[in-house]
Amino acid sequence: MSEFLFEKVALIGIGLIGSSIAINIRERGLAREVAIATRREETLRRAEELRLGSSFHLDPAEAVRDADLVILCLPVGSCGAATEAMAKGLKPGAIVTDVGSVKGAIVRDVGPHLPAHVHFVPGHPIAGTEQSGPDAGFLELFENRWTILTPLPDTDEAATEALRRFWEATGAMVEVMTPEHHDMVLAIVSHVPHLIAYNIVGTAADLETVTQSEVIKFSASGFRDFTRIAASDPTMWRDIFLTNREAVLEMLSRFSEDLASLQRAIRWADGEALFDLFTRTRAIRRSIVQAGQDTEEANFGRLKPRRGDPWNEKGTTAPGE
């Protein structure tokens, strides 16, 4: 019996998430070997300087050779082409997973390029920051955060369990659900909030009466939190919105309806409506903090779907239900 969870792990892409995984493998001794593949030579050299792996490759098919676990750590829109490029190197029985923020598109784009002799278990650590690149990774990123796995109906259960053990070894908590359910939940707890941040920072920047210097000068308030989110990687977020279109548009139309009723309450000076909503939302925040779970996990548990919500109709049980 090996002392490692996996003998060889291959990381395709080495940005914030890839480098955080690499640091976890190194510091917690989760694999004997770590092969890293990147598109750009410069990123590869930086990964080597940071001692993130044991071998470094520009050809992903070379990196995955003999790997028991292959993790795609790329923007969602690049995963299909990267899988096509690495497929011929995959060994029989290897587990292939990813960390992308959208799961339906990963199943659609990655699945068809994989040989039948590998196990495909899409995944998503719900942990991150607005930073990107190989220097951004850190050991504690996944601690006490959820990682969602979305195996397909015919995925080997042992492969899902092996991946669960890997994520748990990084300090993560693991939940299994369908890709459709994942995409719907993430649309409201992560994707739409990012869109709101991008939008409000864009609106403020465009205002002629609020000069750039005033935006900076007075940003010590709630606006500052939005600027952090709106500093997130443009490629990654473009891909998320293009690949989770349906769920984002669905949540956005609910959001717009609710915003319109707030607008109406302000127009008609309906203080009671405003007070009621703000009281409800304050209670949500307080219960999250009280539970000591200021994480997406708490959001899942507490933002209960309304009757007839698609969350309830698809997928498995949502955490907290």
Ligand X SMILES: NC(=O)C1=CN([C@@H]2O[C@H](COP(=O)(O)OP(=O)(O)OC[C@H]3O[C@@H](n4cnc5c(N)ncnc54)[C@H](O)[C@@H]3O)[C@@H](O)[C@H]2O)C=CC1
Ligand Y SMILES: O=C(O)C(=O)Cc1ccc(O)cc1
List of residues contacting ligand Y (CB under 6 A): 101, 126-130, 190, 229
The answer to whether 152 touches 176, Cβ cutoff 8 Å, is: no
CB 117, min distance to ligand Y, A = 30
Q: Which is nearer to ligand Y, 129 or 235 (CB)?
A: 129
Does 125 bind ligand X (CB under 6 A)? Our answer is yes
Q: Which is nearer to ligand Y, 57 or 124 (CB)?
A: 124
Rounded CA-CA distance 35/131 in Å is: 23
The answer to whether 287 touches 224, Cβ cutoff 8 Å, is: no
Does 53 bind ligand X (CB under 6 A)? Our answer is no
- Contacted by 219, from ligand Y, ligand X, none: CB < 5 to 8 Å by type: none
Rounded CA-CA distance 246/276 in Å is: 31
CB 152, min distance to ligand X, A = 19
Does 101 bind ligand X (CB under 6 A)? Our answer is yes
Specify the amino acid at residue 133.
G
Burial 49-63 (b: 16+ CB within 10 A, else e): ebebbbebbeebeeb
- Contacted by 190, from ligand X, ligand Y, none: CB < 5 to 8 Å by type: ligand Y
Give how far the C-alpha of residue 211 lies from the chain's centroid of Cα atoms, to the nearest Å.
34
Burial of 256 (0-12, 13-18, 19+ CB in 10 A): exposed
The answer to whether 53 touches 36, Cβ cutoff 8 Å, is: yes
Does 38 bind ligand X (CB under 6 A)? Our answer is yes
Size of the site for ligand X (CB under 6 A): 29
Does 18 bind ligand X (CB under 6 A)? Our answer is yes
Does 106 bind ligand X (CB under 6 A)? Our answer is no
Which member of 10, 11, 15, 150 binds ligand X (CB under 6 A)?
Answer: 15
Does 99 bind ligand X (CB under 6 A)? Our answer is yes
What SS3 state is found at 62? helix
Does 244 bind ligand X (CB under 6 A)? Our answer is no
